[in-house]
Structure 1
Amino acid sequence: MRILFMGTPDIAAACLEALYAAGHEVCAVYTRRDKPVGRKQVLTPPPVKQVALAHGTPVFQPRTLRDGGEDANIRALAPELIVVVAYGCILPAQVLAMPRFGCINLHVSLLPKYRGSAPIQWAVLNGDSETGVSIMQMDEGLDTGDVLACEKIAIQPEETSGELFDRVTEVGAGLLCRTLPQIAAGTLTPVPQDHEAATLAPMLTKEMARFHWTDPASHIHNWVRGMNPWPAAWFVTGGGRKVKVMACRLADSQGEAPGTVLRTKPLTVACGEGAVELLQVVPEGSKPMEGSAFAAGLRLKAGDLL
């Protein structure tokens, strides 16, 4: 199948590699513009661009598709199908209608749950036991099109968003490659989404990552997992110091006041309900360290308020 691929980050790059490996003809790639990365702000191409160039595929990086400036180029490329994976630009109606088989999107949730930009993170933040990937026939809405295929993925109790993302990427690339021959053969039955059951997965922010010791331990545990690797869950000590928590574990509490240090090895803190062991933390201005080392640095002891 002659495919025009549109995508930007790592998951899109993995899907693009899978399409090449499956023998599809990728006529061109659309991706976002190169961005400055790191402290030295080195102008860096998106992962998808790097993959496409390695395979000798033409790459286009327009600011938008909505102004019609790319219509003639896309029409000239004559794709049979446009495949979209985390592209970051909206496809207008005239582009959606161009290919023979339309446009499909790989979305990393079981639609209509978690429409939006951070579905993997919100599945972990909400303590879900499963998530999945969906292949959707695109329409003009935000993740609202009919579902062509989906596959469920169990979420492990201690799994972080980053760890889950790696597994979802592999499953998504495989599902995409299995779905394309069915699209070409016309053997799939599109399933309309139940729009009334839809939920949103908005982009994360650093401020959103804050938690309080008055929160239940289950909430804090999910927040630490869901905000890892970015933006990282954090709290503020009684002394006003910001501390990121990269890993924690649920523990028991005997009803002590929230924020009370129960043990220092491992550093265990009472919450609104239950307690958590802080396994790895990053105090503001410091390197990552074990929670017990952080407690030793502050000379914390059982009964202190963190």
Structure 2
Amino acid sequence: MKIVFMGTPGFAVPSLEKMIENFNVEAIFTQPDKQRGRGKKITFSPVKEVAIKHGVEVFQPTVLRKDEEAIEALKRINPDFIVVVAYGQILNKVVLDIPKYGCINLHASLLPKYRGAAPLNWAIINGEKVSGNTTQLMDIGVDTGDMLIKDEVEIHDDMTVGELHDKLCSSGGDLLVRTLKGIVSGEVKGVKQNDNESSHAPKIDKELQHIKWNQSAQSVKNLIRGLSPYPAAFTKYEDKNIKIYESEVVEGTVSGMPGKIVDVSDQGIKIECSDKFLLIKKIQFPGKKPMYVNDFLRGNDLEKGIILG
């Protein structure tokens, strides 16, 4: 089978490796190179690095649906499948209609829940106990195509989005292989999504990252682990933004002053929420590395009684 793979970030790399291992990957589409850092050094996407390693032709259209040359190249390749994993571009009907069997997307949620850009973050922020990958036959909507195969993963109480990302990242490639082989053999058929059961997972913005201490302690903990290690939840200590990576809910009677630092010790920073307390264990001050509170306190002080913003 001839495959065209479309993807960009590290999440897509294990899937691409599985495609190369099992099929004939004719071409790889990924986002254009970027300039990073003060020196504006040109960097390749993780997917492009894999493509170069394996000697696969790379295409990097700025906007694929408007790039006639790239679309003509796809038509010449005439693939059996286009496989899409976190590509970062919308495919129009012209592209969707090119492959023999269709465009197959690996989406990191149990569709129809959490359609959109940040499904892993929102699953943890909302306190879900299970997540997973879904392969789907793409249509012109955003994650609305027929579902093919699902693979569930349990979310434990302290799991971060980084840990969930790594689990689904490593299992996604095998799910895609099963899906493609199953479609060709006729064993895998699409199942329409129930739009009434759908939910949206929009991009994470700065406002969401800013902790609201007047919420429940569990809600704040879920936000912290749903954004850890990146982009990270933050709070204001005096005039500084402190990123928070790890926390624990602590029982106790609150005084009605959400955000108040009630204790500082090697165990962490105890902060009042609307119903209970949250013990902050790992933080990062501006210009510093992330560190556990007991390490931070060896050379720094935090004042009790301050209300975090």
- Report the TM-score when normalising by structure 1: 0.94
AA aligned to 1:50 is E
Match of 2:170 in 1: 170
Deviation at 1:20, TM superposition (A): 1.6
In structure 1, distance between residues paired with 2:176 and 2:302: 53
Deviation at 1:212, TM superposition (A): 2.4
Contact persistence 2:264–2:302 (CA under 8 A): no
Query: Do structure 1's residue 136 and structure 2's residue 139 form an aligned pair?
Result: no
Q: Deviations over 1:49-75 (max 9, x none)?
A: 111111111001111122251222111
Residues 179, 253 of structure 1: CA spacing in aligned structure 2 closer, same or farther, 3 A cutoff?
Answer: same
Match of 1:57 in 2: 56
- Report the TM-score when normalising by structure 2: 0.93
Q: Deviations over 1:22-72 (max 9, x none)?
A: 2x0001111110111234331111111111111111001111122251222
Match of 2:288 in 1: 286
Residues 299, 142 of structure 1: CA spacing in aligned structure 2 closer, same or farther, 3 A cutoff?
Answer: closer
AA aligned to 1:33 is P
Match of 2:80 in 1: 80
Match of 1:27 in 2: 26
What pairs up with 1:197-208 in 2 under 5 angstroms? Answer: 197-208=197-208
Question: Secondary structure at 1:79's aligned position in 2?
Answer: coil
Query: Do structure 1's residue 300 and structure 2's residue 303 form an aligned pair?
Result: yes
In structure 1, distance between residues paired with 2:80 and 2:175: 19
In structure 2, distance between residues paired with 1:137 and 1:154: 25
In structure 1, distance between residues paired with 2:224 and 2:38: 26
AA aligned to 1:268 is K
Q: Deviations over 1:64-108 (max 9, x none)?
A: 122251222111111111111111111111111111101110000
Structure 1 unaligned segments of length 5 or more: list them: none
Question: Secondary structure at 1:75's aligned position in 2?
Answer: helix
What pairs up with 1:245-284 in 2 under 5 angstroms? Answer: 245-256=244-255, 257-265=257-265, 266=267, 267-284=269-286
Question: Secondary structure at 2:280's aligned position in 1?
Answer: strand
In structure 2, distance between residues paired with 1:206 and 1:277: 23
Q: Deviations over 1:222-268 (max 9, x none)?
A: 1110111222111113x233211111111112123323333322221
Question: Secondary structure at 1:89's aligned position in 2?
Answer: coil
Match of 2:210 in 1: 210
Q: Deviations over 1:141-164 (max 9, x none)?
A: 111000011111111211111111
Match of 2:152 in 1: 152
Contact persistence 1:206–1:231 (CA under 8 A): no
Contact persistence 2:6–2:29 (CA under 8 A): yes
Structure 2 unaligned segments of length 5 or more: list them: none
AA aligned to 1:65 is L
Number of residue pairs matched? Answer: 303
Deviation at 1:293, TM superposition (A): 5.5
Runs of 4+ in 1 over 6 A off after TM superposition: none
AA aligned to 2:301 is L
Contact persistence 1:264–1:292 (CA under 8 A): no
In structure 2, distance between residues paired with 1:148 and 1:38: 41
Deviation at 1:304, TM superposition (A): 5.5
159-168 or 280-289: bigger deviation: 280-289
Contact persistence 2:283–2:292 (CA under 8 A): yes
In structure 2, distance between residues paired with 1:207 and 1:13: 30
Match of 2:224 in 1: 224
In structure 2, distance between residues paired with 1:197 and 1:126: 16
In structure 2, distance between residues paired with 1:9 and 1:287: 24
Q: Deviations over 1:108-138 (max 9, x none)?
A: 0011111111101111111111111000001
Deviation at 1:207, TM superposition (A): 2.9
59-68 or 75-84: bigger deviation: 59-68
